[in-house]
């Protein structure tokens, strides 16, 4: 489960009511003021008194810290997690700048985006010919991937077991090839080989493999 922390400040020499979502804490970080509730669970819906010091000509400030559990299914409806906050004036107060009574934090979803591509540069093939395939696995997502499993299942027209040359791996972008000795034909064509790390942002591993055309 992911956790996210939000910090926002309330500024001004007046009493305010806040109505953002989720739970958090409130503290006075400047001047003379008082939080209606210093902490709590559930949606924040409290008051805060902020005073103006005529001698120093400064307003008190309150800091609200909001921590929430990221909903497991929020990606079902949006790629962005949003969290609004609203400041509501009490009666008999007039704010000359009322357009700044709401704010919205938006966080783009972090996600894995594994891809795999298998190709060959060979043109038309004949029975008995050896063809070299390249398998590219990459991760253009925003989260690193550890221990992804890569496997290859050739069709019945190819013999990828008989060639004696072992598969070869190269890596880019900080990715890691399968650990030494683990990249064998039997493993790749069977249960698969472990790619220790595919960093986010397009890191890739390329595995090259020879096969023989049998029909």
pLDDT digits (tens, 9 = 90+) for 94-140: 888 889 888 888 888 788 899 999 999 887 888 999 999 999 999 99
Going from N- to C-terminal start, the domains of the chain cover 3-108, 115-213
Class at the top of the CATH hierarchy for domain 115-213:
mainly beta
- H/E stretch holding 169 reads strand 168-172
CB atoms within 10 A of CB 148: 19
Any idea which of 52-61, 81-90, 142-151, 155-164 has the lowest mean pLDDT?
Answer: 81-90
- Mean pLDDT of the chain, nearest integer: 85
């Amino acid at each position: 489960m992911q956790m996210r922390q939000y910090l926002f400040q309330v500024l001004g020499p007046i009493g305010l009511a806040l109505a953002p979502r989720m739970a958090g804490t409130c503290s006075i970080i400047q001047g003379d003021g008082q939080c209606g509730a210093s902490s709590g669970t559930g949606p924040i819906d409290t008051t805060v008194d902020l005073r103006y010091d005529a001698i120093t000509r400064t307003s008190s400030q309150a800091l609200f810290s909001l921590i929430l559990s990221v909903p497991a299914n929020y990606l079902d409806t949006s790629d962005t997690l949003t969290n609004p906050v609203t400041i509501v004036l009490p009666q008999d107060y007039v704010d000359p700048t009322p357009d700044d009574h709401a704010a919205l934090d938006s966080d783009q979803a972090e996600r894995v985006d594994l891809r795999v591509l298998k190709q060959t540069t060979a043109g038309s093939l004949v029975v008995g010919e050896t063809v070299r395939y390249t398998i590219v696995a990459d991760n253009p997502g925003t989260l690193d991937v550890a221990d992804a499993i890569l496997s290859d299942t050739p069709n019945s027209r190819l013999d990828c077991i008989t060639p004696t040359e072992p598969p070869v791996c190269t890596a880019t972008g900080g990715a890691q090839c399968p650990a030494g000795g683990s990249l064998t034909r039997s493993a790749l064509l069977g249960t698969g080989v472990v790619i220790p790390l595919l960093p986010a942002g397009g890191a890739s591993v390329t595995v090259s493999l020879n096969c023989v055309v049998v029909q």
